[in-house]
Copies of this chain bind each other. A is one copy, B any other.
Amino acid sequence: MTPTADQRRSRPTIRDVAALSGASLKTVSRVVNGEPGVSDDLAERVRAAIAQLGYRHNLSASNLRRSNGKTASIGLLVGNIANPFSAAVHRAVEDVARRHGVAVLAGSLDEDHERERELVAAFSLRRVDGLIVMPAIGDQSYLADERRAGTAMVFVDRPPTFFDADTVLADNREGAATATAHLADHGHRRIAYLGDLQLISTAAERFQGYTDIVIRRGLDEHPDLVVHDLHDVDLAESATHALMQLADPPTALFCSQNLVTIGAIRSLRRLGLNRETALVGFDDFPLADLLEPAVTVVAQFPAEIGRIAAEELFRRLGGDTTPTRRHIVPTALIERGSGEIAPLG
């Protein structure tokens, strides 16, 4: 006896289903794809064979011949999958993709341009229909080939460099201005800026927003009050420590990013200054309301950013060829206490 499909370890194919049900390949294909024009009787026999064999359609093989060639999968490139902002974007993208029957491949860039190119290549090899990219520092002109091949693309959180594509951004400059103005409104004139790598566009935008208010309100300007390139908690903590040792220390801090905010809080705690130094952070974080004082932040809405980006991508995949768009998602100031501390004296 020759082995039948379900005795072998390999997967049953459409051929096995055809043999068992006594239908042709094409008829099985029709049933599997829900195409009309198969008698109820035959369709039922085919379905029974599918169930009996545990047949599972091969999407890749199907796509190879199919004219539209969609793989029903998209790629998502974020800073770091384990980071709450990226994770919230990811979840929102997943939810939209799911409604479209599309699977999501995801990868972390760790601010590494080489890694970005590798991941794009890896996803391209797998013929993703589209890409949602939170780009690393570096330019995106290399994506031209990819787009020419028909891959849809949307950028999130940061705009692409030397490349034009749909982009969904938080209102970084405005949000930072709001944070800084809020501190000024509470009487602060020496407001420090603690920011991430200057090469990151969001950091640059947030610094602009801070500067806008410093100039407009005539606040104290001093090079010591501005610290850039704080990319992790430890750097932020020591920078804050140094800042508070100045002869004339700031009375308020604007922290342009999550990890910076946490580093600054650690430092203020250690110095016992957390109840007298005002602080506003850019980007909300879990438990910000349970710290003492609770932390005032400019919240971004990563889930909203992810959702819009995914919808934009599917609009493009649906054939929309209108000019490139840029969505700006507003931020919101959440007053919790740390930003409402008045300057001493």
> Would you call B91 and A108 a contact (CB within 8 A)?
yes
Kindly identify, within residues 278 to 332 of chain A, every residue whose CB is under 8 Å from any CB belonging to chain B: 285-287, 290-292
Which residues does chain B contribute within 8 Å of A266, judged by CB atoms? 290
Interface readout for A257-276 with B: 1 if CB under 8 Å, 0 if not? 00000100110010000000
A194 to chain B minimum Cβ distance, whole angstroms, is 17
Set B59, B72, B125, B150: member contacting A9, Cβ < 8 A: B150
- Copy number of this protein in the oligomer? 2
Give complex CA distance A58, B104 in Å.
Answer: 18
Interface residues in A144-168 (C-beta closer than 8 Å to B): 145, 148-150
Q: Is the CB of A84 within 8 A of B81?
A: no
Q: Within 8 Å CB of A121, what residues of B? A: 56
Separation of A145 and B5 alpha carbons in the complex (Å) = 13
Asked if A81 contacts B90 (CB within 8 A), the reply is yes
**Contacts A87-B82, A108-B91, A290-B266 hold; do A59 and B149 have CB atoms under 8 A apart?**
no
Q: Are B291 and A60 in contact (CB under 8 A)?
A: no
Q: Would you give the 0/1 interface string for A48-75, flagging 1 where the beta carbon is closer than 8 Å to chain B?
A: 0000001011111101100000011100
**Is the C-beta of A336 less than 8 angstroms from some C-beta in chain B?**
no
Answer yes or no: A122 CB below 8 A from chain B CBs: yes
Residue of B nearest to A106 (CB): B106
Asked if A10 and B292 sit within 8 Å, CB to CB, the answer is no
Task: Determine if A254 is an interface residue (Cβ-Cβ < 8 Å).
Answer: no
Contacting pair A59 B150 (CB below 8 A): no
CB <8 Å contact, A105 and B108: no
A106 to B91, CA, bound (A): 10
Residues on the B chain within 8 Å of A81, using CB: 87, 90-91, 94
Rounded to whole angstroms, the CA-CA distance of A27 and B87 in the bound complex is: 43
Alpha-carbon gap, A168 to B96, bound state (A) = 31
- Once the chains bind, are B73 and A82 in contact (CB under 8 Å)? no
**Is the C-beta of A88 less than 8 angstroms from some C-beta in chain B?**
yes
Q: With contacts A91-B82, A125-B57, A286-B286 known, is A73 near B148, CB below 8 A?
A: no
The SS class assigned to the A binding surface is: mixed
Q: CA of A54 to CA of B146 in the docked complex: distance in angstroms?
A: 8
- The answer to whether A104 and B106 touch (CB under 8 A), given A61-B64, A71-B60, is yes
For A123, what are the chain B residues with a Cβ–Cβ distance below 8 Å?
103
Check B287 against A73 for contact (C-beta < 8 Å). Answer: no
Could you tell me if A127 and B9 are in contact, using CB atoms closer than 8 angstroms?
no
Decide yes or no: A127 and B287 within 8 Å by CB, A81-B87, A292-B292 being known contacts.
no
A126 within 8 A of B: yes
Query: For residue A57, which residue of chain B has the nearest CB?
Result: B125
Q: Which residue of B lies closest to A89 (CB)?
A: B82
Interface residue? A201 (CB, 8 A): no
Contact check: which of B98, B107, B150, B286 meets A94 at CB < 8 Å? B107
The one of B83, B84, B105, B149 that contacts A73, using a Cβ cutoff of 8 Å:
B105
Chain B residues within an 8 Å CB radius of A10:
149-150
Is A178 interfacial (CB-CB < 8 Å)? no
A126 pairs with B287, CB closer than 8 A: no
Does chain B have a CB within 8 A of A124?
yes
Contacts of A265 in B (CB 8 A): 290
What are 24 contact pairs spanning A and B, CB under 8 A?
Answer: A9-B148, A10-B149, A10-B150, A54-B148, A56-B121, A56-B124, A57-B125, A59-B125, A59-B127, A60-B71, A81-B87, A81-B90, A84-B87, A87-B87, A91-B108, A94-B107, A101-B122, A103-B105, A103-B126, A104-B107, A262-B287, A262-B290, A269-B290, A290-B291
